[in-house]
Amino acid sequence: MQYKIGIGYDIHRLEPGRPLFLGGVEIPYGKGLLGHSDGDALIHALCDALLGALALGDIGEHFPDTDPKYKGISGSRLLKTVKELVDSNGYGINNVDVVVITQEPKLVPFKNKIKQTLCSLMNIREDTLNIKAKTNEGLDAVGNKEAIACYAAVSLIKS
């Protein structure tokens, strides 16, 4: 068997008047993540981790923010496309671990829905995905409620 590991990171500024999407789930909050797409930083970090494991660059190379066809595109659609690359390269997702860093909103009430959504989008079992929600203890842009950051780690397996 052959294993590959990838890590991903993303951060987006919170902006009033935008919907907040994390892990393909709309979270009720007065601000959303600013971005060319829907700004789903969790999915963006996950896409980068998957692309990194495959040595296929990053999300910006595959879905550039200079291309108008990606304006407003959902993170869910991006993740499905990246998952197709994983499949077409002969790999399966062994496990996924993500960290969402946000002072607000609190994610505990939404973690299960996010997990179910991500597992459905990637066609993986729930026991292969873990989500951690953290704060930045009032430090930096995340701690000042100006941004949300996400990390993702994945392992892929080819038998």
CB 25 within 8 A of CB 118: no
CB 151 within 8 A of CB 98: yes
Locate 149 and state its tokens: 């950051």
Output DSSP code: residue 97: E
Tokens of 35: 């971005």
Specify whether the CB–CB gap between 26 and 45 falls below 8 A.
Answer: no
Indicate the number of domains in the chain: 1
Q: What is the CATH number of the domain that holds 124?
A: 3.30.1330.50
Q: What is the pLDDT of residue 1?
A: 85
Domain of residue 9 covers 2-158
Residue 17 three-state SS: coil
Backbone angles phi, psi at 101, to 5 degrees: -110, 110
Write b or e for each residue in 3-38: b if 16 or more Cβ atoms lie within 10 A of its Cβ, otherwise e: ebebebebbbbbeeebebbbbbbebebebbbebbbb
pLDDT in tens, the chain (159 residues): 899 999 999 999 999 999 999 999 999 999 999 999 999 999 999 999 999 999 999 999 999 999 999 999 999 999 999 999 999 999 999 999 999 999 999 999 999 999 999 999 999 999 999 999 999 999 999 999 999 999 999 999 996
Question: How far is it, in rounded angstroms, from Cα 104 to Cα 127?
Answer: 27
Helix then strand count (H, E) for the chain reads 5, 7
The predicted structure's pLDDT at residue 12: 97
pTM: 0.96
3-state secondary structure of 24: coil
